[in-house]
Structure 1
Amino acid sequence: MAKHNFFVAGTDTDAGKTLVSTGILQAANRLGLQTIGLKPVAAGSEETPEGLRNDDALKLQQAASIKLGYDSVNPITLAAAVAPHIAAAQVGRSLSADRIAALCRGSMMQRADLLLIEGAGGWRVPLNGREMLSRVPQLLETPVILVIGMKLGCINHALLSAEAIVRDGLRIAGWVANRIDPHMACYEDNLATLRGLFQAPLLGEVPYLANPTPEAVADCLDLSALLADVRG
Structure 2
Amino acid sequence: MSEGFFITGTDTDVGKTWASLALMRALQKQGRTVTGMKPVAAGCEWQQDGWKNQDALLLQRHASLAMDYRTVNPYAFELPVSPHIACGDVEVEIEVILQAYRSLHAVSDSVLVEGAGGWLSPLSRQLDNAGLAMALRLPVVLVVGMRLGCINHARLTYQAIVASGLVCAGWVAVGIDRYLLELQANVVFLQGHIRAPLLGILPYLEQPDFDFLATRVSL
Query: Which of 154, 160, 167 pairs up with 2:156?
Result: 160
CA distance in 1, matches of 2:157, 2:98: 21
SS at match of 1:119: strand
Q: Which residue of 1 aligns with 2:203?
A: 207
Q: Which moved more, 1:94-103 or 1:205-214?
A: 94-103
8 Å CA contact retained: 2:122, 2:128: yes
Displacement of 1:51 in angstroms is 1.4
SS at match of 1:86: helix
8 Å CA contact retained: 2:175, 2:204: yes
Q: Which residue of 2 aligns with 1:63?
A: 62
CA gap of 1:135–1:168, structure 2 versus 1, over 3 A, is: same
Displacement of 1:134 in angstroms is 1.4
Q: Which residue of 1 aligns with 2:101?
A: 104
8 Å CA contact retained: 2:36, 2:63: yes
8 Å CA contact retained: 1:63, 1:214: no
Gapped regions of structure 2 (runs ≥ 5): none
Displacement of 1:75 in angstroms is 1.0
SS at match of 1:215: helix
Deviations 1:2-49 (A, max 9, x none): 952110001100010001101111111222211111111111110011
Q: Which residue of 2 aligns with 1:42?
A: 41
8 Å CA contact retained: 1:85, 1:95: no
Instruction: Please say if 1:194 is aligned against 2:193.
Output: no
Q: Quick one: percent identity of the two aligned structures? A: 42
Gapped regions of structure 1 (runs ≥ 5): 224-232
TM-score, normalisation: structure 1 = 0.89
Tell me the matched-pair count. 219
Q: Which residue of 1 aligns with 2:28?
A: 29
8 Å CA contact retained: 1:125, 1:132: yes
Q: Which moved more, 1:149-158 or 1:31-40?
A: 31-40
CA distance in 2, matches of 1:219, 1:138: 30
Query: Which of 98, 111, 117 pairs up with 1:115?
Result: 111
8 Å CA contact retained: 2:116, 2:123: no
SS at match of 1:121: strand
TM-score, normalisation: structure 2 = 0.94
Q: CA RMSD in A?
A: 1.5
SS at match of 1:120: strand
SS at match of 2:71: helix
Instruction: Please say if 1:139 is aligned against 2:139.
Output: no
